Amino acid sequence: MDVSVEVIQEVEMDLPVDVDDLLTKAIMAAASYEGCETVDVAVTIVDDETIRELNRTYRNKDASTDVLSFAMNESIEDEPDIVYDDLEDEIEEQPLGDIVISLPTAIRQAEEYGHSLERELAFLAIHGFLHLLGYDHMNEEDEKEMFSRQRAILEQIGLTRG
pLDDT (tens digit per residue) in 4-41? 999 999 998 888 889 999 999 999 999 999 999 888 99
Helix (H) and strand (E) counts for the chain? 5, 4
Contact 81, 49 (CB under 8 A): no
Share of the chain above pLDDT 70, in %: 86
Between helix 117-132 and helix 140-156 the angle, nearest 10°, is 130
Residues in the annotated binding site for Zn(2+): 127, 131, 137
Show me where the domains of the chain are located: 2-156
Binding residues: 127, 131, 137
In 47-90, where do the E strands start and end?
67-71
Domain 2-156 has CATH 3.10.20.600: no
Give residue-wise pLDDT tens across range 39-67.
899 999 999 999 999 999 999 999 999 99
Tell which residue, 140, 123, 122, has the closest CA to residue 23: 122
- Judge residue 72's burial from the number of C-beta atoms within 10 Å of its C-beta, 0-12 exposed, 13-18 middle, 19 or more buried: middle
Report d(CA 34, CA 27) in Å as an integer.
10
